[in-house]
Amino acid sequence: MTTDHGHPAVRLHIAGEWCQGGTGRTAPIVNPATEEVIGAVPLATSADLDRALEAAARGFETWRATPVARRTAILHTAADLLTERADEVGRIMTLEQGKPLAEAAGEARRVADTLRWHADDARRAYGRIIPSAPGTLLTVRREPIGPVAAFVPWNFPAGGPMRKISSALAAGCSIVIKASEETPATAAALVECFVEAGLPAGVLNLVFGEPAEVSDRLIASPVVRLVAFTGSVPVGRLLAAKAGEAMKPSLMELGGHAPVIVCADADPVKAARRAAHAKFVNAGQVCTSPSRFLVHASLLEEFTAEFTRAAEAVVVGDGLEPGTTMGPLANERRLKALERLTADAVARGARIRTGGERLDRPGYFFAPTVLTDVPRDAELMNEEPFGPIAPIVPFTDLDEALAVANGLPYGLAAYGFTDSAATAERLSAGLEAGILSINHCGGSVHEAPSGGVKDSGYGREGGPEALDAYLVTKRVSHLLA
Ligand code: NAD
């Protein structure tokens, strides 16, 4: 069923059934390109959450006992269904999150592949046999940790949920996932693929609600064995503390404020083009988005000129319109935050090279923005901007640039541009980040781990490491005689 705006009706998925939720309370879903309400998301009650928890407890028993080859086959079928539906899922995503259609459909295709990758990796979750005394069999097994409570945000409406769902299900866990109330239909479309692929009831439960009510209830429940969160540092800190109180491990994929160091021997034009492309993807609403540009003083003008040209070439518009390369911000909170960060920087002496304000039209559109002469104490240099805004500042000494780059509590992504292998190694060793890219600003890949250090969180998603949080290690020693 779809609404008048072509947006599907959204429901909760609990114990294998789509349902409305106990009290009939809902929250509006807004198209950020038009500010129109395009649907309503049901909010779970405590009783709904308890049903989801009971279902996850039962679902875990069923799923862990399902042979791994069968589990993998179901996950592959779900991935194939998602691939077939990628264009439609992309359209839903654009309606509720704003990103351009090609980017949205690309995300749906990519996450189908994430699922395939984790499904296959589950078949290699080997234990080991350890040499021991004669007559003793000493083994190490890896077992699913149990039901998972997961919380994911709105910036990657398919990527966020799928990273958690694919790892949990591949490991043999069940999951209750609270996807974002702002992008719920994309999450529901993913869940529908699993349902149609034959996933047993209760293994995957999707809820929406008042975020704090949902996380309080799920994290405190004895059913839940792992808390997995993607989102901001303050909320991550809160949920990690709750998990700690309940003596549960957690996986925290939090924010960043990624430095880009452009060294004196780099090609400033190439560096500016690559960095600008990454900056404006998803309107800068990416946890690994390059967001502080530290450029050697000798390259500053050339880099800034090219970066500004690239910013001005971005086609801002409704993601459903062909030719759009950057959509609106996903919600009004981001718009207000960017206006505040820009005003603060300008008040402290920054110069706007391009952009700097919201577009004069309905929708949460903010112009691609380049600022120079931004002092280090500007909020923009210290707070994750999560938007299409680039402060460019000069440096003269690489140690000084490394000190600025490492000077914040964040440690998610970092980028360096240099022609020298020795300098690349200095950056690789010296930058405090979980993800480092040299001479490019490419995105994450399924095959390799992503995650932060310092306040950006702990645990890894992607790569074989992704299953670590979802598996426990059990030592079994068996005296045979
Ligand atoms: P926010 O920090 O309040 O929310 C972030 C996410 O956490 C949302 O999906 C929200 O529903 C959820 N959340 C909030 N409180 C929660 C709670 N008590 N229990 C469970 N979930 C809860 O604010 P926001 O306006 O949505 O985003 C603001 C900032 O968050 C951004 O500026 C960015 O720094 C960060 N963020 C990071 C990521 C990421 O990928 N790491 C994604 C989205 C937002």
What pLDDT does 444 receive?
87
Residue 380 is given by DSSP the state G
Whether 378 and 339 have beta carbons less than 8 Å apart is answered as no
Pocket test for ligand 1, best of 163, 235, 461 (most atoms within 8 A of CB): 235
Q: Is the CB of 230 under 6 A from ligand 1?
A: yes
pLDDT at 124: 92
Ligand 1 atom at minimal distance to the Cα of residue 239: 19
Rounded to two decimals, the pTM is: 0.97
Alpha-carbon dihedral 344, 347, 352, 357, rounded to 10 degrees = 50
Determine whether the shortest distance from the Cβ of 212 to ligand 1 is under 6 A. yes
Q: How far, in Å, is the centroid of ligand 1 from the Cα of 364? A: 18
Query: What is the model's pLDDT at position 417?
Result: 98
Query: Could you tell me the two tokens for 81?
Result: 């269904």
pLDDT recorded at residue 2: 67
Q: Can you tell me which residue has the tokens 């920087």?
A: 345
Enumerate the active-site residues: 253, 287
Contact partners, residue 362, CB within 8 Å, separation at least 6: 34, 35
* Helices and strands of the chain, counted as H and E runs: 13, 20
Do the Cβ atoms of 450 and 442 come closer than 8 Å? no
Tell me the mean pLDDT per 10 residues along the chain, length 481: 78 97 91 97 97 98 97 98 98 98 98 97 93 95 98 98 98 98 98 98 98 98 98 98 98 98 98 98 98 98 98 98 97 98 98 98 98 98 98 98 98 98 98 97 91 98 95 96 74
pLDDT score for 4: 64
Q: What is the pLDDT of residue 429?
A: 97
Ligand 1 centre distance from Cα of residue 230 (Å): 8
Ligand 1 pocket member 254 (CB < 6 A): yes
In angstroms, the CA 114 to CA 317 distance is 29
Mutate to test the pocket of ligand 1, among 151, 232, 334 (most ligand atoms within 8 A of CB): 232
How far is Cα 449 from Cα 289, in angstroms, rounded to an integer?
17
Minimum CA distance residue for ligand 1 atom 23: 232
CA of 445 to the centre of ligand 1 (A): 23
Question: Distance between CA 329 and CA 350 in Å, rounded?
Answer: 23
How many angstroms is it from 52 CA to the middle of ligand 1? 22
Cβ of 356 less than 6 Å from ligand 1: no
Tell me what pLDDT residue 198 has: 98
pLDDT score recorded for residue 1: 64
Residue 107: alpha-carbon gap to chain centroid: 12
